[in-house]
Structure 1
Amino acid sequence: MTDWRAVIIGFLVITVLGIIGLTLPGVGQLAAGLIGGFVAGYLAGGGIGRGFWHGLLAGAFGGIVAGVLVALVVGVVGWAGGPVGGLISGLAGIGILAVAILISFVMAIESALAGALGGLLES
């Protein structure tokens, strides 16, 4: 059974640390995913598998939020650029989608591994 409280707390940790981590691009988001996944796994407890699952869910939700934020930033920049910026932004949409999916997978995998460690330590 999924402990949604643990998943939501892990997701919130990922989101808050990810926003703070924007000052250190890449490293900040990596740390946010690891810490949030660990928190989700630790709070869920129950061993490696349960921690892995809860870290995976928290990381996937965090990755979706990060991907949406990237898409919003590019969309606003395109809108501010007028018709040419809109065209460029529209053409970049496929690349943005690929980046958002990649961010989601990376955050989910790293959070799942950290969640497994958290679940192991809590047991």
Structure 2
Amino acid sequence: MTNWRAVFVGFLLATVFGIVGLVLPGIGQLAAGLIGGFVAGYMAGGGLGSGLWHGLLAGSLGGIIGGLLIGVAVGLAGLALGPAGGAISGAAGLGIFAFAVVISLVMAVESAVAGAVGGVLNSGRSGRGGRNAY
């Protein structure tokens, strides 16, 4: 069973650290995904598989939201430039979609690995297997 509270907290942490991590492009986002996935996996507990699943969900949710925000920003920029800008931003839509998919996959994989570590570290800490400890 999915602990959506753990997923949401991991997603929020990844988002906040991702925004702060813009100071160090690439490294900041990598650290954000690792932190968010670890926290989601640790909060969910239950061992390797549970931590991996919760970290994966937290990371992929962050990637999807990030991709949508990039798409909205490009769309608004295209609208501001008039009909020519609309055509340009429409043509760029395919590239933006591909970029969002790649970012989502990278964030999901790194968060899943960190979530697995968190789930293993919290596998036996509560009487209920760590699953609903929070």
TM-score w.r.t. structure 2 length?
0.87
Q: CA deviation at 1:111?
A: 0.3
- Gap runs ≥5 in structure 2: 124-134
Q: CA deviation at 1:51?
A: 0.3
Q: CA deviation at 1:81?
A: 2.0
Q: CA deviation at 1:76?
A: 2.0
Q: Find the aligned partners of 1:23 and 1:79 in 2 and give their Cα distance.
A: 28
Letter in 2 for 1:88: I
The alignment partner of 1:46 has SS state of coil
Deviations 1:28-62 (A, max 9, x none): 21111110000000111111111000000101111
Structure having the larger proportion of residues in helix: 1
- Matched with 2:31 is 31
Instruction: Quote the RMSD (CA, aligned, Å).
Output: 1.1
- Matched with 1:85 is 85
- Matched with 2:63 is 63
The alignment partner of 1:25 has SS state of coil
Following superposition of structure 1 onto structure 2, how do residues 1-123 of structure 1 map, counting pairs within 5 Å? 1-123=1-123
- Matched with 2:130 is none
Percent of residue pairs identical = 67
Q: CA deviation at 1:110?
A: 0.6
Letter in 2 for 1:73: A
Q: CA deviation at 1:105?
A: 0.8
TM-score w.r.t. structure 1 length?
0.94
**Range that drifts further, 21-30 or 45-54:** 21-30
Pairs aligned (count)? 123
